[in-house]
Structure 1
């Protein structure tokens, strides 16, 4: 299930403070398996229910970076969108995401340096209104001057 804004590009000339974009995605067992395969992170807390039951999470959880990847999707597809270059990202994981959880990934413009084409973004992911991930990203935004 995906619920998001249209994909595309918002050039630095059109970015405004407080702009927000988001996507909503339900994390599936298949997502977790594919992420494990691509990343080679096969930690059993993500893949083995019996193992995960005996951890502090008391059940399987999604990879934290899978959740963080949803932030990347919002940045790369919506705000600023196509042509954006990541410069840095901080992340703090606050709660686990479990198979079947629907994650709302949001980014909000909190700083703009037009001369350097840099945009600072507040990043957050929520499940059922509860923050599970927070952080900030700095990106180089596309510009109409370089089309």
Structure 2
């Protein structure tokens, strides 16, 4: 069972992941987001990206993976997320997803995290999240 007292500002967790064409196709099927920038090679070649890119929502879902499985862990409730997409994430590109605990609100049993997704040292996604500890 989680307890708000077991957490300290500065705690971090991370995961590395790349997304294949199959991952993107499956996400499009589940989400209904069939934007051709994600699915159509010929269309994507004509865009500013020059090739297909991963759905932002698919990539940012890895923060949920971290919260549920690493920090704070099973039983937490993901209440709020804010993401800013700075750079595209391309197919098969290894991305490091990092969460850092920046604030503890003991009275409300809430943890506030910074979230970042990096391609090597370049930020692709930055944001924040609020997690409830029941």
Give TM-score scaled by structure 1 length: 0.87
Q: Paired residues, what number?
A: 134
> Is the contact between residue 10 and residue 78 of structure 1 (CA under 8 Å) also seen in structure 2?
no
Match among 46, 52, 56 for residue 54 of structure 1: 46
Greater mean deviation of Cα atoms: 9-18 or 27-36: 9-18
Match among 91, 97, 111 for residue 89 of structure 2: 97
Matched, 1:85 2:53: no
Task: Quote the offset at 1:76 in angstroms.
Answer: 1.5
Where does 1:60-139 land on structure 2 (aligned, <5 Å)? Answer: 60-139=52-131
Gaps (5+ residues) in structure 2? none
Determine the C-alpha separation between the residues in 1 that align with 2:96 and 2:3: 24
Match of 2:19 in 1: 27
Give TM-score scaled by structure 2 length: 0.95
Task: Quote the offset at 1:94 in angstroms.
Answer: 0.3
SS at match of 1:80: coil
> Is the contact between residue 10 and residue 79 of structure 1 (CA under 8 Å) also seen in structure 2?
no
CA separation of 1:100 and 1:80: change in aligned 2, threshold 3 A: same
Determine the C-alpha separation between the residues in 2 that align with 1:71 and 1:30: 20
Deviations 1:83-107, CA, capped at 9 Å, x for gaps? 1111211100000001111111110
Determine the C-alpha separation between the residues in 2 that align with 1:99 and 1:28: 5
Pairwise CA RMSD:
1.2
